Structure 1
Amino acid sequence: MAQRETKTRGGWRDWMTDRVLRGLIASALALPPRPRLALMGGLVRRVLAPLAGYRSRAMENLAHVWPDLPEAERCRIADATAENAGRTMIENYDVPGLLARMKDAPLLGEGVAAIEAARAEGRPVLFVTGHFGNFEAPRAALVARGWRIGGLYRPMANPFFNAHYAANMHRLGDPVFEQGRRGTMGLLKHIRGGGMGVLLFDVYDSAGVPIDFLGQPAPTLTSAAEIAVKTGALFVPFFGIRRADGMNFDAVFETPVPHGDPAEMMREATRRLEARIQENPGQWFWIHRRWKWRRQARQRSREAARMAP
């Protein structure tokens, strides 16, 4: 087992991959912003996404939720997804640049007044969002204005890459916790003390509640809503919507979701994300294994077999 772990995590392949990625990131950051974004967006769209299977996975996901969508349109959305992913990655590695660009970006949406009032009162706020546009842009807009916004991050499987990825997460704002029981408890303590934090909820988790997402069941954790209810935190969906110029963003803060049953709160947050995806489908991360419908089918079969007489 130890030998197998060495080969899969922390071995020479991971080290080489990390060296290549570090070099690519450093080279891109040496360029001015506009050609940097064009380079990374084009590289992921034309090279990385097809080679790594990301494009085909996006096409499968699109066919799963929108089976009547013409293939040409699925191709367009899959390519836009890869372009946005490349731009987002390098944007989030240029923390000073992202903060500078978002400092004067207007805060939009009906939730702005609510979060400003909560800050003045010392009431905690828990922001929720999905892998849409650049999900760090609204947080950067607040941090650049002096707000302190914590969050959770999912560690990378490659430990060499994760070392600088995690450090970069801390550069945008603290406290930042690694996903897991300890990290969740740390974020809960921060929110309970009147702090603010961000959670992304659009990832598959077999322990989640089956909530329909774009018309298909997608297990979704209710922990974000549970934290909000336990701490009395305002529960606010926000979105960083990429503008047509490919560089700038609308930082939109929506009306807070009322407290209630955590599953219903997450259904409402899901509906808010669905509406954004319907408007700009190429800005959502279709590369994710969000539904894992084959695994869900196997799980349903096992459960049916256990319940059979």
Structure 2
Amino acid sequence: MKPIANKSSGHSRNSLETIQDWIVDRVLRAALWLMLRFPWGQRLAISAGFVSLLSHFTSWRRRIRENLALIMPELPQAEVERLVREVPASFGRTMIELYSPEEFSARIAREELKGPGVPALEAAHAQGRAVLLVTGHIGNYDAMRAALITRGYRVGGLYKPMVNRFFNDHYVSTIERIGEPLFPRNRNGMSEMLRFLRSGGMLGVVLDQHMYSGVLLNFMGQPAKTSLSVAEMALKYNALIVPTYGIRRPDLGFDLIVEAPVEAGDPLETTQKLNDSLEAQVRAHPDQWIWMHRRWRPENLPDHSAG
């Protein structure tokens, strides 16, 4: 439930950075306002094109190529270049969907929940049992939260605030229109989140973020720092762990996938199973995962290659 940007490390921003953040925020807000004037299909196409164009002025394209070279070195160059174009475009569609919360929720409400985990999810809802809905930055990472909220499920989201606090405030206030509560990944937010989970709430969590406090686990064949918090919370609060994904279809709809629950056991083994679940989705839909993430860090790779 978060944008691609990461929270700052706690260091204060200087005046120049603050001014730059304010300017970037205003430019992005203006672009979003303009895109929201168009009908749904055109809106998604314009946002996809805008973010794809924007990627030329960032490190995203270089990072996508580096990550693909690390994880999928066998890909033909033509496919690499296709993904370099399509990955930012997919992210652009996600962003404008999230900035269209009412229409997005209405469209998602018409989609069917699919997969072997649906009965277990429905049973947990009926029993008021806590559930950890684990996903990654693939397709639209907030689609399942929106889908369940429209069905009357009590679902919260954990998010990592952006460095740009101006845009962060706007972004959070927008996705709150899909549903609340939302919990920032800080001390107060985590405390409120745990109370929500103890009360039997469902919590959406993205697992594919580099966490300095995490442990090195395999993700797509390479070591990546991964948080064990999902597995640990499941054991502590008897929560059901369910991998879920909102995979975009060519018709602009979504396949809302609810996989079979992952049994909460040894945190390392449980978290590795969740990494494996996401890996299968990424390999099946590589153009819908955010390859510009710094998911693999050079210091953690066996040969210290760039990642």
TM-score in same-fold range (> 0.5): yes
Say whether residues 1:6 and 2:29 are aligned partners: no
Say whether residues 1:283 and 2:288 are aligned partners: yes
Using the TM superposition, give the Cα deviation of residue 8 of structure 1 relative to its aligned residue in structure 2, in angstroms.
5.5
Which one-letter code corresponds to 2:300 in the other structure?
Q
The answer for unaligned runs of 5 or more in structure 1 is 301-309
- The residue that corresponds to 1:307 in the other structure is none
1:255 counterpart (255, 260, 263): 260
Q: How does 1:187-266 map to 2 (within 5 A)?
A: 187-245=193-251, 247-266=252-271
RMSD of aligned C-alpha atoms?
1.8
The CA deviation string for residues 180-236 of structure 1, in whole angstroms up to 9 with x for no partner, is 233222211111111111110101112211111110000100011111111101100
Q: Aligned to 1:63, what secondary structure does the other structure show?
A: helix
The 4+ residue runs of structure 1 with deviation greater than 3 A are: none
- The residue that corresponds to 1:68 in the other structure is 74
Q: Which has the larger radius of gyration?
A: 1
Which one-letter code corresponds to 2:269 in the other structure?
E
Say whether residues 1:29 and 2:29 are aligned partners: no
Q: How does 1:106-121 map to 2 (within 5 A)?
A: 106-121=112-127
- The residue that corresponds to 2:156 in the other structure is 150
Supply the distance in 2 between the matched residues of 1:205 and 1:121 (Cα, whole angstroms): 33
Higher helix share: 1
Which one-letter code corresponds to 1:117 in the other structure?
A
Residues 232-241 or 177-186, more deviating: 177-186
Using the TM superposition, give the Cα deviation of residue 112 of structure 1 relative to its aligned residue in structure 2, in angstroms.
0.6
Asked if the contact 1:148–1:173 (Cα under 8 Å) also holds between the matched residues in 2, the reply is no
- The residue that corresponds to 1:178 in the other structure is 184
Supply the distance in 2 between the matched residues of 1:162 and 1:8 (Cα, whole angstroms): 18
TM-score where L is the length of structure 1: 0.91
Using the TM superposition, give the Cα deviation of residue 78 of structure 1 relative to its aligned residue in structure 2, in angstroms.
2.1
Asked if the contact 1:125–1:195 (Cα under 8 Å) also holds between the matched residues in 2, the reply is yes
Alpha-carbon distance change, 249 to 7 in structure 1, aligned in 2, over 3 angstroms: same
Residues 69-78 or 131-140, more deviating: 69-78
The CA deviation string for residues 49-95 of structure 1, in whole angstroms up to 9 with x for no partner, is 12112111111100011122222211112211111000000001110
Supply the distance in 1 between the matched residues of 2:51 and 2:14 (Cα, whole angstroms): 28
Supply the distance in 1 between the matched residues of 2:20 and 2:204 (Cα, whole angstroms): 33
- The residue that corresponds to 1:90 in the other structure is 96
TM-score where L is the length of structure 2: 0.92
Q: Aligned to 1:240, what secondary structure does the other structure show?
A: strand
Identity of aligned residues (%): 44
Equivalent residues, number: 294
Q: Aligned to 2:177, what secondary structure does the other structure show?
A: helix
Alpha-carbon distance change, 222 to 4 in structure 1, aligned in 2, over 3 angstroms: closer
